[in-house]
Structure 1
Amino acid sequence: MDAKLAQIREDREELEHLLSLAQRARVKDMLSINLRKLDTEYIVTKEKLDQAQVAVTLGQASVTNTPVGRQLDANPVIKAYDTTIKTYSWDQSDKFVKVFLTGLGDLSQVSPDQIVQQFTQHSVSIRINQVGDRNLLFNIHHTGQPIDPKQSYVKVKSDMISIYLAKIERGRQWPHLRASDEVTQKPIAPPKIDETADPSAGLMSMMKQMYEEGDDEMKQTIAKAWSEGQSKNSPF
């Protein structure tokens, strides 16, 4: 199971690389859709792994008479499930784009070590663990404009989460928070993925389908990424 999680992460990195090379909004939207599918697959796989680990721990506790075993019985593991936050509002100043997440209940007991934040120049990933029986997730796979990861941060108040994205180009107004918001044409159906197939084979099949069905811009993007990947793997 751990190997599958690692494979999904590698597939996601490959798609993020493609997304960084893509120029057209339509191409970016297709890649963003597949990134979201991989995120969902990762969450489901990790949840199964966590369930298996909890079952083993509880099984060991039930057959032992040691003080550790009794302590586990007295303090059972509280399982939290992942909840992706889809509703938000946002505003901006000359220096920051501010994203506000509300309606999440009481957050007054959230401590800094529960917050996992990751910023890149074009993406945002926020995870707040063990908020009651939930892990709160919020992601932007490709921001509308580049941000400064070192100056971006998260602030949790009693009833709201505020995410501050530092603009690289200060004073520039963002027309969209997400790059995919710029897409106005009919939504594109994501490529079909065989969930029972080997993860690496699934990625290759998805890439092949995107290449065959894509326009010239999409084909050039995929060809460039493939060529760079082969160069990195070459021993010479």
Structure 2
Amino acid sequence: MLLQKKTLTRALEGDEKILHDVEELRYIRGLSKRPNVQKWLVEKIEELSAQLPEAVPEQRIPSPTVKTEKSSNSTGLPTVKVTNYGWDESDKFVKVYITLQGVHNANPSSIQHSFSNNGYDIAVSGHCGKNYVMTMKGLRDEIVPESSQIKQKTDMLMVMMKKKTEGLKWEQLTKIEYDEKQKR
């Protein structure tokens, strides 16, 4: 009986170490940028998690999974509102260039976007330990949301908005800027 208790205690201590390793690997995964590194970390986390017995009562092994999920979950990260951009236009499109270091390495599924007739919302989750949001409302003229898109470029997101009125020169990106210029 005593031998079984010592063996169980050693096993629990080993499981606790594995849990702490898994917790730290998840934390590092949340900080990592490179897809290959993230893939390797996920594989290692799964490998270590497979070593843990599932039948061990929860009160015997302190489980850090709740804390770990928060640290790797993008909702617990600080949010940065991006307001700097450049823009250009052609007869058919208005292009907005948003500089964001390393965004070309971001998983495309971490980049969410939506277009409306007069603007867009973009959210980049968990990039370099932060969430980024970019919002543009009140565009100079209407766009075609279904034909607008975002492209990942080196250190940049390119927002391509299809003009509703092709050939119209915008001169200003937003209606407010355009109206102010007209008053002068």
TM-score bracket, normalised by the shorter chain, equals 0.5 to 0.7
Point out the structure with max Rg over C-alpha.
Answer: 2
The structure-2 alpha-carbon separation of the partners of 1:143 and 1:70, relative to structure 1 and needing over 3 Å to count, comes to: same
Give 1:182 deviation, angstroms: 2.3
Q: Map of 1:25-174 to 2, 5 A cutoff? A: 64-65=59-60, 69-72=63-66, 77-78=71-72, 79-102=76-99, 104-174=100-170
Residues 136-171 of structure 1: CA deviation (Å, up to 9, x unaligned): 111111111100000001111231110000011111
Give 1:184 deviation, angstroms: 2.7
Q: Which has the higher helix share?
A: 1
Number of the residue aligned with 2:47 = none
Give 1:108 deviation, angstroms: 3.1
Residues 22-62 of structure 1: CA deviation (Å, up to 9, x unaligned): xxxxxxxxxxxxxxxxxxxxxxxxxxxxxxxxxxxxxxxxx
Secondary structure of the 1:148 match is strand
Query: CA RMSD, aligned part only?
Result: 2.3
Residues 69-94 of structure 1: CA deviation (Å, up to 9, x unaligned): 24456676143111111111100111
**Contact in 1 for aligned 2:81/2:134 (Cα 8 Å):** yes
Number of the residue aligned with 1:220 = none
Structure 2 residue runs of 5 or longer lacking an equivalent are 1-57
**Contact in 2 for aligned 1:92/1:98 (Cα 8 Å):** yes
Secondary structure of the 1:113 match is helix
**Distance in 1, Cα, partners of 2:59 & 2:159:** 46
2:172 corresponds to which of 176, 199, 202: 176
Q: How many residues align?
A: 121
**Distance in 1, Cα, partners of 2:164 & 2:84:** 25
**Contact in 1 for aligned 2:88/2:96 (Cα 8 Å):** yes
Structure 1 outlier segments of 4+, above 4 Å: 63-67, 70-76
Secondary structure of the 2:103 match is coil
**Contact in 2 for aligned 1:143/1:178 (Cα 8 Å):** yes
Secondary structure of the 1:172 match is coil
Q: Which amino acid aligns with 1:77?
A: S
Structure 1 residue runs of 5 or longer lacking an equivalent are 1-62, 186-236
The structure-2 alpha-carbon separation of the partners of 1:112 and 1:182, relative to structure 1 and needing over 3 Å to count, comes to: same
**Contact in 2 for aligned 1:144/1:177 (Cα 8 Å):** yes
Secondary structure of the 2:138 match is coil
Q: Which has the higher strand share?
A: 2
Give 1:64 deviation, angstroms: 4.8
Identity %: 24
Question: TM-score scaled by structure 2?
Answer: 0.58
